Structure 1
Amino acid sequence: MGFTDLLEEVGGLGRFQLIHITLLSIPGLLMACQNLLNNFTAGIPAHHCTIPNLTTTLNLSTSEEGQISLLRAFIPLAESQLSKCSRYVQPQWHLSHTNHSQAVSPNLTEVETESCKDGWTYKRTEFISTIVSEWDLVCSLRPLKQMSQTIYMGGVLTGAIIFGGLSDKFGRKLLLTWSYFQLAALGTFTAFSSSYLAYCTLRFLTGMAVSGVILNTVSLKVEWIPTKTRTLVGSLSSLFFTFGQMILAGIAYGLKDWRKLHVAVCSPFFIIFLYSWWFSESARWLVLNGRLAEALQQLHRVARINGKDEAMEKITLEVLQSHMQKEVQSSKTVFTVYDLLRTPVMRRISLCLIAVWFSTSFAYYGLAMDLQKFGVNIYLMQLIFGAVDFPAKLVALVMLSFLGRRLTQGTCLLTSASIIFINIFIPKDMQILRTVLAVLGKGFTSASFTCVYLFTGELYPTVIRQTGMGFASTMARIGSMAAPVVLFLDEVFPALPSVVYGAAAILAGLTAFLLPETLNVTLPDTIEDVEEKWSKKTHRFQEQVQSESMTLDTLGQPAEESEDRQSSGLDAL
């Protein structure tokens, strides 16, 4: 009897698991808000140079066309629009009567201009306030807008490294509870930032907490779920994240103020922090850390909630110890990140997952961030991006259940790459078609995210699962940090960012086919389990033994002798 059998004894997917999974999934409604918050808190309002003594006049004007005509005397045109970063040194009053769409006269290029010495005036219809309008992150300071997202993702990266290792050492529940509190406190305090530096510092620390929540949530789910229901539970619980994207669109539209938005999406984690004490620590982790009495206590608690009172009498400390002797023995070994690369199969898994995690995150945030580039209302675009994830993840669920993890992972990435490349050749004036393709591409990368979280949790053994999750997802955070920076390449060549995103997705899609299949495979608990399950040498030997066994049976050799030979051969391995 292994741990999977013990789970079945205490109720399988019973009342406890359903409550446990639901409470762990609810925070996902707000996790999407954290990762995509920059679309709204760092949105760029329409703006132009501030003209002294003109603000009152413009505010009193009821006609937007009249305002633009008046501003034409002070601000030059840039690509048929009022310049955002310069103004005339001397007013050009004759231009206030010029048609707004009229081409710029050649002699106007000689008119002296200057930078926005008096700051900027922002249009407050789409956004009331953002960090861009708060600290004038426009023109020469515009890169700081993307930098704020990169710094946040740097925090998520750091959290993956730190919390991954700490969780394997101190437990999933403790680190998850702390991450909830850190996210609630620092995320809420971000709303009171008095400077850009303070804002970025708090966002970095909030990103660390986000990583702690994601990693420990995945492990606590996987380690309490029976093998046969992992696919269904993993896919359906990811829909909370999808629905959260749609919630973000509604909250952002209702508030339109970056400070209020931070409070709205971070303060609810105080409530989540309070109820998180109800969670049960992973019994797998407790066993593998030599805490058998606590593991037995957690198993009895689960059995009691699931109404399996007979299991409480049947599963004793001696039963637990005798049936998990190999796992208990492995708990005496201290594992590090080096163990992820030390053995052949673990090394192959880790290197492949690095490519898959990086490219999935890279392509996802390349499409999901900077929604203003689509020329559609940003709140509507966020709603559409969230809505398309529902059918995408349901398709992924069917594929994961019947085709397996490996084929699903590779197919989603290659399909997303194909859509990204197709979009390069669509003319810019066909904006609707370009937007539809971008939405579809984002849907497939989202499905890829659903698969890779489940896939990684199944590939790494319990003794080092959190360290492995942290290690693999570290590359995802690097990808999410690089995604906003790559957007600057459109100044060199407009299609270059799409080429980079698509190429990375193709590379990862092909790499995914090198990973072992985990559909309906029992979770490995030790590194030795991984090597035995997916070693190519083991597979070849098993096939050879099976072939020889069939040959001997055909010749009439007693079945018992054939079985003994197979057993001795496996022992020799």
Structure 2
Amino acid sequence: MAFEELLNEVGGLGKFQILQMVLALPLVGIAACHILLENFTAAIPGHRCWVYILDNATGILSPDVLLRISIPLDSNLKPEKCHRFLHPQWQLLHLNRTFPNMSDLDTEPCVDGWVYDHSLFSSTIVTEWDLICDHQSQKSVVQFVFMAGMQVGGFIYGHLSDRFGRKLILRCCLLQLAISGTCTAFAPTFLIYCLLRFWSGCSAVAIITNNWMLIAEWTRSQSKAMVIMLITCAVSIGQMMLGGLAFVFREWRTLQLVVSIPFFVFSFSSRFAVTVPLYGISMNLQHFGSNIFLFQVIFGALTTLARCLALVVLNHKGRRPTQMFFLFLVGVSILANTFVPPEMQALRVALASVGITCVAAAVTSYCVHCDELMPTLLRAKAFGLDAMVSRCGSALAPLLMTLVVYLPTLPWIIYGVFPIIAGLVVPFQPETKNMPLSDTIQDVENTKRVSREAKDFYIKVTKF
């Protein structure tokens, strides 16, 4: 029986397909934001040459008068954007509604920089790196670089998706776009900005196409047209979303962050989400007080006790409830600490101690659960992939502290939100308490089936 015939037998548009679309369509919409991002982050505001007599001096003359003697007019009788008078043209003060031949007056390029109109955008990459006048073509270069990244990413990730599966490549691309997009917001030079946008383009196209394929391939023929229409609508909704976000966030680095950070949420795994708060707390001891020597010893002792505590809870409550309990406590303790005033040091240290204790217990719980979930056939590869994701989380933790320039509590809010969201994902994994280690993938499937049947049996007996 063909796969599509099997879909028709079991129902080609059921709960699974609907849930899949609910999770996939927001990804497509936000990825579409990245494609059109330069409409706002690379917008060219009004500008003119910087002139000392006009921008750095005070006097009795009005700005309009100083502008008239400092900046020539273009063919539309508007101030030139790329040239200024070599010397102030005082004779222009005595002309009434007449316009002299500007070609007879000596002008020069904007050798001292430009003055930008910030009424529409507080900053863009154009104002950041002066991509105007002789360098105005650089904006097109940025857009070309991103589209070139989409071309390269479509070819490479398309091949890898067919070889290793849609979901694996999709998760990798989600993490790639999250990292590249976030790093773009901190790009120190135009060249680095272009390289990061190229990298973002590679992953953005894979996110859209892989979600497209996942939805279409799991839908029967009668419903394919409708779901594809929904995917294309998600792109249009992403365009509207970008317009609204750009209206609210007028600074280009902030807008770049807003459309990039959500992909960390979508690419969550328990290990990505556990190491972020772990290293966020462990590597920022000065945030909790001045005696960092004592804190280092106390936190080390608490994590030792926590790992022993995790063993007791794991044996009595199971793997999933233990992970959820500790992950939620981590998030709540960190979020609560963000609202405690600095002068209440005792309370801040207490909440930080709870956080570091629970995150250590969550790490131990996760390691036990992960070891029992993976079959022997794939355990080494799985732990290698797990270690790679964990290192991404540990590398991200100190990077997030750079966000304090926008809001001092923002990194800590992110540290607290990560484990809470990860805790919500844990119930989707099978329970492995008192189950034998699996040797093959088929054993894992049997474990999931037994766990599900045991749950159903428990519900029926309870109802009876």
TM-score, with structure 2 as normaliser: 0.57
Bigger mean CA deviation after superposition, 213-222 or 192-201: 213-222
User: Hey, what does 2:127 align to over in structure 1?
Assistant: 133
Provide runs of 4+ in structure 1 moved above 6 Å: 275-278
Q: CA deviation at 1:189?
A: 0.6
What CA deviation, in whole Å up to 9, does each residue of 1:309-331 have, x standing for no partner? xxxxxxxxxxxxxxxxxxxxxxx
Q: CA deviation at 1:12?
A: 2.0
Matches for 1:455-534 after TM superposition, within 5 Å: none
Q: Shift of the alpha carbon at 1:11? A: 2.9
Overall identity of the aligned pairs, in %: 40
Q: Secondary structure at the match of 1:259?
A: helix
1:149 to 133, 143, 157: 143
Aligned ranges for residues 23-42 of structure 1 at < 5 Å? 23-42=23-42
> Relative to structure 1, is the Cα distance of residues 197 and 4 closer, same or farther in structure 2, using a 3 angstrom cutoff?
same
Instruction: Check if 1:104 corresponds to 2:99.
Output: yes
- Over residues 265-309 of structure 1, what are the superposed CA-to-partner deviations in whole Å (9 max), with x where a residue is unaligned? 11111111127998x9xxxxxxxxxxx977x969x99xx9xxxxx
Correspondence for 2:159: 165
| Equivalent residue number for residue 71 of structure 1 | 67
Kindly provide the amino acid, as one letter, of the partner of residue 54 in structure 1.
L
1:254 to 2:248 alignment: yes
Deviation at 1:242, TM superposition (A): 1.0
In structure 1, what is the Cα distance between the partners aligned to 2:127 and 2:8? Answer: 57
Write out per-residue CA displacement over residues 514-545 of structure 1, whole angstroms, 9 at most, x where no aligned residue. xxxxxxxxxxxxxxxxxxxxxxxxxxxxxxxx
1:89 aligns with 2:83: no
Counterpart of 1:129 in structure 2: which amino acid? S
Q: Which amino acid aligns with 2:83?
A: S
What's the CA shift for 1:53?
Answer: 4.9
Using the TM superposition, give the Cα deviation of residue 149 of structure 1 relative to its aligned residue in structure 2, in angstroms.
0.7
Distance of 2:120 and 2:179 partners within structure 1: 28
- Mapped to 1, the partners of 2:103 and 2:217 lie a distance apart of 68
Higher relative contact order (CA 8 A, sep 6+): 1
The Cα shift of 1:134 comes to 0.5
**Alpha-carbon distance between aligned partners in 1 of 2:244 and 2:189, rounded to the nearest angstrom:** 27
Q: What does the per-residue CA deviation read over 1:158-210, in whole Å, with 9 as the maximum and x for residues that have no partner?
A: 10111011111111000000000000111011010110001001000011010
Q: CA 1:175 to 1:98, structure 2 compared with 1: closer, same or farther past 3 Å?
A: farther
Cα drift, residue 217 of structure 1:
1.0
Is 2:228 the partner of 1:240? no
Once residues 164 and 45 of structure 1 are traced to their aligned partners in structure 2, the CA distance between those partners, rounded to angstroms, is 38
Tell me how far apart the structure 1 counterparts of residues 162 and 73 of structure 2 sit (CA, whole Å).
Answer: 59
Q: What CA distance in whole angstroms lies between the structure 1 residues aligned with 2:80 and 2:48?
A: 6
Unaligned runs of 5+ in 2: 271-421, 429-439, 453-464
Aligned match of 2:15: 15
Aligned counterpart, 1:332:
none
Pairwise CA distance, 1:10 = 2.9
For 1:228 and 1:97, locate their aligned partners in 2 and report how far apart those are by CA, in whole Å: 78
Matched-pair contact (CA < 8 Å) for 1:71–1:96: no
Aligned-partner residue type, residue 24 of structure 1? A
Aligned to 1:203: 197
The aligned length equals 286
**Letter of the 2:68 counterpart:** R
Deviation at 1:227, TM superposition (A): 1.0
Flag the 1:48–1:97 CA change in 2: closer, same or farther, 3 A. Answer: farther
Could you tell me whether the CA contact under 8 Å between 1:80 and 1:103 is conserved in 2?
no
1:47–1:123 contact (8 Å) kept in structure 2: yes
**For the residues of structure 1 that align with 2:183 and 2:34, how far apart are their CA atoms?**
14
CA–CA distance in 2 between the matches of 1:245 and 1:7?
Answer: 33
- What is the RMSD computed on CA atoms of the aligned residues? 3.3
Hey, what does 2:395 align to over in structure 1?
none
Could you tell me which amino acid in structure 2 is paired with residue 50 of structure 1? Answer: W
Map 1:21-420 onto structure 2 (within 5 A): 21-56=21-56, 66-78=62-74, 79-96=76-93, 104-106=99-101, 108-274=102-268
Aligned equivalents of 1:41, 1:50: Cα separation in 2: 23
Equivalent position SS for 2:119: coil
Equivalents in 1 of 2:95, 2:79: separation in Å? 13
> Structure 1 residue 6 and structure 2 residue 13: aligned?
no
Distance 1:23 1:76 in 2: 56
CA apart distance, 1:214: 1.5
CA distance in structure 2 between the aligned counterparts of 1:259 and 1:96, rounded to whole angstroms: 42
Task: Please say if residues 181 and 257 of structure 2, whose CA atoms lie closer than 8 Å, have aligned partners that are also in contact.
Answer: yes
CA distance in 1 between partners of 2:64 and 2:33 (Å):
36
TM-score (normalizing by structure 1): 0.46
The answer as to whether partners of 2:29 and 2:238 remain within 8 angstroms in 1 is yes
Report deviation, 1:103: 5.9
In 1, the alpha carbon distance for the partners of 2:223 and 2:22 equals: 15
What is the deviation of 1:54?
Answer: 2.9
Look up the SS of the partner of 2:228 in the other structure.
Answer: helix
Q: What's the offset of the Cα at 1:97?
A: 6.2
Contact 2:212 2:231 in 1 (8 A): no
Q: State the SS of the aligned residue for 1:109.
A: helix
> Take 1:96 and 1:147, find their aligned partners in 2: how far apart are those partners?
42
